[in-house]
Chains A and B, each alone.
Chain A
Amino acid sequence: MNTDLDRRRPPLPVSPPPERRSMIAVMRFQLSGYLRSVRALHPVLALALLLAIMFSSPLGGTPAEVRKGTVSAIADAAVLIFPICAWAARGLLDTEPDVQRHVSAVTAGRRRALIAGLLSAFVFSAVLALVAPVYLLAQAAGSGLNPQAMVFGATLCPLSALAATALGALTSRAVIRSTGTSILVLLGVCTLNLIFGLTPLRFLTVPMIDWMRAAGHGPSGLVGAFPELAARTLAWTAIAIALYVRLRRTRP
């Protein structure tokens, strides 16, 4: 009987190479430290508050109106979660005491510890970003929103979380020692991002104002503008992460 069971048992998964195992181990260490601290509750509560306010008045009307309303609300959610995700990323990276960061850099390797920190911060932010639009996406699906607009809508919040992770990393304690200054920079970038988004300087920003404008035109507006907006967001993130990596060279 045992033999039969053995025969049916699927092959054991191939264990990942040591480098990846070590990366996953660093991420588990960082995420578990963060989740055990009260810091993780701050962005979760902020998100709960945001969602409660956003959904206090339900969307209604014809299916076409619901489709337009939900797409627009998803873009709003992507903008509103940006500071929350940046805060979460900063909080996660700051949970590790400075000296532990030095120990982790030696234990895992400097580069691996740095990448693991960014990935852990993104994983947590991405969870928040995936939860935020769930209700809206369900409503959009119920109203017959086309699959492409659904996919783009569902991607908008994680894209926002990605750029927010880079901002959170740039304002983490390893880069900016003073808590007051780092919060000022974090909130300042969020605010300037919206102000510059209304001016010709919007090429410098995470294109949040443009997300909202495109989604304001309904599903077809979002679908048409999405590739360019996604590319601009990814470019902003890449530059911010490159700056973070550069600054971390002498800020262990």
Chain B
Amino acid sequence: MQLDQVAFRYRRRAPWVLRDVTLTVPRGRLIEVSGANGAGKSTLLRLLAGVVPPVRGRVSGRPPRVGYAPELFPAAQPFTASAYLGHMARIRGVDDSAVAKWAARLGFSGLLGTRLPDLSKGSAHKAGLIQALLAEPELLVLDEPFAGLDAETRAALPSLLSGLTADGTSVVVSDHQGDLRKLPDVVRWRVSGHTVTVGDLPDEHTIVEVTVRSDEADALVERLTADGYHARRR
């Protein structure tokens, strides 16, 4: 899956939330998205999951089965957890047994009969994770999945996600709390300055934008690289 020169804003004439985002989502890898509050992490995740199309640029190669768990599960709905997840399973075209399977794995089985508005914040969050996992997604997008989870599930989630990546699922996770820091082979994306950079950016580094004539761009990149900076042309 590939994002090419993607830009997004929510209203015409509103400031761009993201610009010039060019990324490849590697298959079967865990990707951790970091960035300050309001940097555009959730918007990036919505673009990846297909909640919104880009205003400019192109998203290509999104797999057919995508799971998406929002940061805050919308618990104000007139269903029991079981009825809600049953609806989600039918929309996905998967068997109801998938609900029981994932509920058992996330320690949610005892809560299936509870009405969504009566669930605690952490339990509602689990319902959000279960609906995202139902269809064995090839791309799983989780917005702050560790927030509000009980200690047991929080400890179990990284290995559950590693298991999915081993099966070929690309997992994109925004994580404030650093629960994924311990896992090996995590791809890191950093959202800042309305764009996304790949790799870790140490605290003592920052990004400088330079506007230059098109025919001078390559020479400048070469010169900066020769001086020891990491420079690239957009």
- Of B69, B78, B92, chain A has the most CB atoms within 10 Å of the CB of B78
Interface residues of A in 190-245 (CB under 8 A from B): none
Is A7 on the interface with B (CB-CB < 8 A)? no
- What's the count of A-B pairs with C-beta under 8 Å? 81
Is A103 on the interface with B (CB-CB < 8 A)? yes
A22 with B51, Cβ < 8 A, contacts A28-B87, A251-B10 known:
no
User: Nearest Cβ in chain B — how far from A160, in angstroms?
Assistant: 29
Is B77 on the interface with A (CB-CB < 8 A)? yes
Point out the residue from A18, A36, A106, A110 that lies within 8 Å of B78, measured CB to CB. A36
Task: Establish whether residues B46 and A103, one from each chain, have CB atoms under 8 Å apart when the complex forms.
Answer: no
Task: Establish whether residues A97 and B46, one from each chain, have CB atoms under 8 Å apart when the complex forms.
Answer: no
User: Nearest Cβ in chain B — how far from A98, in angstroms?
Assistant: 7
Kindly state the separation between the CA atoms of A29 and B85 in the bound complex, as whole angstroms. Answer: 10
Task: Establish whether residues B49 and A106, one from each chain, have CB atoms under 8 Å apart when the complex forms.
Answer: yes
Q: How large is the interface on A (under 10, 10 to 19, 20 to 34, 35 or more residues)?
A: 20 to 34
Kindly state the separation between the CA atoms of A99 and B77 in the bound complex, as whole angstroms. Answer: 11
Kindly state the separation between the CA atoms of A66 and B9 in the bound complex, as whole angstroms. Answer: 58
Is A185 on the interface with B (CB-CB < 8 A)? no
Point out the residue from A28, A99, A105 that lies within 8 Å of B50, measured CB to CB. A105
Is B217 on the interface with A (CB-CB < 8 A)? no
Point out the residue from B11, B74, B90, B131 that lies within 8 Å of A97, measured CB to CB. B74
Task: Establish whether residues B79 and A252, one from each chain, have CB atoms under 8 Å apart when the complex forms.
Answer: no
Chain B positions within 8 Å of A96 at CB level: 77
Is A42 on the interface with B (CB-CB < 8 A)? no
User: Nearest Cβ in chain B — how far from A15, in angstroms?
Assistant: 11
Chain B positions within 8 Å of A21 at CB level: 90, 93
Kindly state the separation between the CA atoms of A61 and B152 in the bound complex, as whole angstroms. Answer: 78
Is A104 on the interface with B (CB-CB < 8 A)? yes
Kindly state the separation between the CA atoms of A217 and B70 in the bound complex, as whole angstroms. Answer: 57
Kindly state the separation between the CA atoms of A102 and B53 in the bound complex, as whole angstroms. Answer: 12
- Of B11, B69, B87, chain A has the most CB atoms within 10 Å of the CB of B87
User: Nearest Cβ in chain A — how far from B17, in angstroms?
Assistant: 10
Is B149 on the interface with A (CB-CB < 8 A)? no
Kindly state the separation between the CA atoms of A117 and B8 in the bound complex, as whole angstroms. Answer: 24
Kindly state the separation between the CA atoms of A142 and B190 in the bound complex, as whole angstroms. Answer: 73
Kindly state the separation between the CA atoms of A25 and B91 in the bound complex, as whole angstroms. Answer: 5
Chain A positions within 8 Å of B145 at CB level: none
For residue A109, which residue of chain B has the nearest CB?
B50
Kindly state the separation between the CA atoms of A96 and B8 in the bound complex, as whole angstroms. Answer: 24
Is B187 on the interface with A (CB-CB < 8 A)? no
For residue A112, which residue of chain B has the nearest CB?
B91
Binary per-residue interface labels of chain A (114-126) against chain B in the complex, 1 for a CB within 8 Å, 0 otherwise: 0000000000000
Chain B positions within 8 Å of A146 at CB level: none
Is B72 on the interface with A (CB-CB < 8 A)? yes
Interface residues of B in 117-151 (CB under 8 A from A): 128, 131, 135, 141
Is A44 on the interface with B (CB-CB < 8 A)? no
Task: Establish whether residues A110 and B91, one from each chain, have CB atoms under 8 Å apart when the complex forms.
Answer: no
Is B40 on the interface with A (CB-CB < 8 A)? no
User: Nearest Cβ in chain B — how far from A19, in angstroms?
Assistant: 9
Give the interface of B toward A (CB within 8 A). Answer: 8-11, 46, 49-53, 55, 66-70, 72-74, 76-79, 87-88, 90-93, 128, 131, 135, 141
- Give me the 5 closest cross-chain CB pairs, A-B, nearest first: A97-B74, A36-B78, A106-B68, A25-B90, A29-B87
Q: What would 28 A/B residue contacts be, using CB atoms closer than 8 Å?
A: A21-B93, A26-B91, A28-B90, A29-B88, A29-B90, A32-B79, A32-B87, A33-B78, A33-B79, A37-B78, A97-B76, A98-B74, A99-B72, A102-B51, A102-B68, A103-B128, A103-B131, A106-B66, A106-B68, A107-B91, A107-B135, A110-B50, A110-B53, A249-B53, A250-B55, A251-B10, A252-B51, A252-B52
Given contacts A97-B76, A104-B91, A249-B53, 16 further A-B pairs with CB under 8 A are A18-B93, A22-B92, A28-B90, A29-B88, A29-B91, A33-B79, A99-B74, A103-B69, A103-B74, A103-B131, A105-B51, A106-B67, A106-B68, A106-B141, A107-B91, A251-B10
